Each structure stands twice: as C-alpha cells, then as structure tokens.
Amino acid sequence: MPSQKEIERRYRNIRNAMAAEKLDALIVCGNQYAGFEGAVRYTSDFEIVHRYVYVLIPLEGEPTLVFPREARWIGDKKKTFVREHVWAEIPGKWLREKIEEKNWQRIGVHGLDFVMAVRDYRELETGSFDIVKFDTQFDMARAVKSEEELAGVRDSMDIILDGFRALLKGYRQGTNEAEIMAPAVERFFARGAGPRMMNIVLSGTGGEAEAHFKVPSLRTVGADDLLLYSLEITGVAGYWVEFSRALIRGKISARTKAMSDVYPEAMEAARKLMRDGELACNVHKAAADIFAKAGFALGHLTGHSIGLTMIEYPAIGANTKVELKENMVVSFHPQVVDQDGKVCLYTQDTFRVGKTEGECLVNIPWKFYDGTETVGKA
C-alpha cells in the first residue's frame, strides 16, 4: 500500500485539477482489461481481479469504491485504503442517485470513452448534472512520479529484465514463438506481475519482421526469423514498464540492416530531449526526422507517458504540445516501417524525464541478440 504521505500527495494533485475544472466530484473508472486497471489502483490501491470498479471522489470528503454486485467476492477488499464500499445492482444508477442526492452539478469522468460500462453511462446521462470528460486532466495530475513511485517503476524494470534473461536463455532454433516467450512469462508471474502483462511479438522470415503485432504462436522459428518481442508488465506495486530487443540467430535482410543503422542515433537524439520543459512533440520529431532522412516512416506514435495505467497522457507524438516535467516516466517505442508498410523494425525502452536529459532505466545495448549474451541488471 502507498504511504499516507503518497496518498495525500495523489489526492491533493487530483483535487487541484478538479477545482480548476470546477468539478463537484470525479468518477474514476477501471476494468480488468490489461492496462486499464491502473487509475483505480492509483486512487484506492484496490487491485482489480475481474469485472470493473469505480472510485467516486468528491471535491471534499471521503471517496467511495463502487462495485457491481456480481463482483462482491472478487478481489481483496481489505487491501484498499478507501474504506467506504458499495455493491450496486447497476453502479451507474447508484452513482446517479448519489450525485443527485448531493446536488452536485459538474461530474468529471476518467475513462469515459474506453472504460466505463455502457449500462452505467446510460444511467448517468439521464441525470440532472453535467458530465465532463476528465482523462487528460487526471493523467497530467499523476504524470510526475514521486520517489516512492519511481522505486516501484525500477522494481518493475528489474523484473522485466529478469524475464528477458530467461527468454534469451531459452531462445533456440527449432522451438516456436510461444515456447521462446514462456520462460519470460514464468519469471514475470513468479515475481508478482500476475495477469498484468501484454506480451506480444512482431516476427517474420528472411531476416525481416512483418509490420503487425500478434500473439506469440506455435509457429516453429527458423535461423533467419526475426523476433521482436514486446515485453510489457508490472511489478507488485502495479507500475507498467515496457522493453524490447531484436532476436535473430541467422542473417538480417538488407532492409532490416538499413533500418537498424539509424536506430542508435534516433534513440539517443530523443533521449537527450527528454528533459524538464521540453515539448513532447520535439522528442518525437528528433527521432522521426532521423528515420525520415533515411527513407523510413513511423508505424504509430513513438511513445507515451506510463505509470499504473499502461498508456497515460501525454503521448510522445507529432502534435503533442505538452511540456515534459522532471520525473515523468515515458515508454519510447518507435516502430519503423518500409515504404510499403509491410516490413518493420522495433525497439522499446522506458525512460525517466530528467532535469537536463532523459534517463534510460535499463543499461542494455540496442543490437540483434542471438541468445548467447549475458544481460546485466537494470
């Protein structure tokens, strides 16, 4: 559980953001879908095991955890620091009635577009109050991590590298994509990640990877197959981190080689701009311009803020004119694609925004790994 000092810091920042938007209360949404549980964990330390949960936070007064009735026996309710719990037949109906009872007029919702259950939104929209989308404001209120939070992030990085070491050790020709991934997942689960994982892969033959992510399959891996496992997990404290390095035993193609030649320069240019006061779009541009000069495009955004939720605001993208702040944590993962959009190369690192430049939270060189390497600690 977070310390009392950390809980107070979180609620102070959230309520300052609420006051700026003239909100009377905030509904924080979370569900079991990997990466969407974190806002509830952040505001209550309740760990969602199944279904979904809301945290109702008034501008003044104590918060309430609101569960669907069918989830009464799911999840350890003793672990949360929010003491008032409600099990509602339809949580949205209970929330609407509570809001109208309090005569609140402006209600913020974090998770309105992607997380809130439809049946609950239908109830809320019939209420006599305004519903205000509050995703950006909430994420900015939690974007700068405390030292206590950074300790949780670093623990997650240690776990993800433990899994990568196991993956390298088990990587050999003649096994399949799932078998290569399995030792990493075993380490992740053994060290407390639980179901909070999103481990997927870009792969292909002839020294190239196809430009779409997929679940590691039972396809047998050949010597010239390129594997780009995207490892995304949390530690016990729930902080998401992301990491990826390229695997191949045989030869890479000429196209892959051309992509790989510009990766170190692009990653370093972006890292140097991950500093207090820099615009997020400039970090993106630093890498994107180097890839474009070499004739390659980017498959999607180069990165995003990350924390107890897998993808938090702000994005590291061309149009994100948001100032970075020291101790924000970002996942930076440029996916470079060829002119036809069929072949790609990919890497993934987690960084702390520093005062003058970014700190990569692992000391693992970017290169093509063949399984014989020894990997150190984060």
Pick 76 or 166 by higher pLDDT: 166
Among 40-54, 318-332, 333-347, the least confident range: 333-347
Domain-located, residue 210: yes
Residue 375 lies inside a defined structural domain of this protein: no
pLDDT at residue 46 tops 90: yes
Residue pair 72/65 in contact by the 8 Å Cβ criterion: no
> Degrees (nearest 5) of the Cα angle 114, 120, 121?
60
Please report the pLDDT score of residue 129 as a whole number. 97
Q: Choose one of 84, 111, 142: the last residue of a domain.
A: 142
Contact 238, 196 (CB under 8 A): yes
| pLDDT (mean) for 123-138 | 97
- Assigned domain for 376 exists: no
Q: Across the chain, where does the E strand assignment appear?
A: 25-31, 52-58, 64-68, 84-88, 106-110, 130-133, 200-204, 209-210, 226-234, 240-243, 246-247, 297-298, 303-305, 312-316, 329-332, 335-337, 343-346, 349-352, 359-360, 368-369
Kindly give the residue spans of alpha helices, DSSP state H, lying in 2-88: 4-20, 38-44
Q: For position 34, what pLDDT does the model report? A: 83
DSSP 96-109: HHHHHHHT--EEEE
**Does 94 lie in the same domain as 201?**
no
Residue 345 has pLDDT above 90, yes or no: yes
Give me the number of domains the chain comprises: 2
Amino acid letter, 7: I
Give per-residue pLDDT as tens, 367-378: 999 998 887 766
Question: For all residues of the chain together, what is the average pLDDT?
Answer: 95
228-252 mean pLDDT: 96
Q: Which of 142, 177, 202 is the last residue of a domain?
A: 142
pLDDT at 282: 97
Q: Please list, in sequence order, all residues whose beta carbon lies within 8 angstroms of the beta carbon of residue 222, skipping any fewer than 6 positions away.
A: 173, 205, 250
- Which of residues 96, 117, 142 is at a domain's end? 142
Q: Are residues 125 and 182 in the same domain?
A: no
Q: pTM for this structure?
A: 0.94
> Does residue 136 sit in the same domain as residue 187?
no
Output b/e per residue, 264-294; b: 16+ Cβ within 10 A.
eebbbbbbebbbbebebbbbbbbbbebbeee
Looking at the structure, do residues 124 and 241 belong to the same domain, yes or no? no
User: For 73, which DSSP code?
Assistant: T
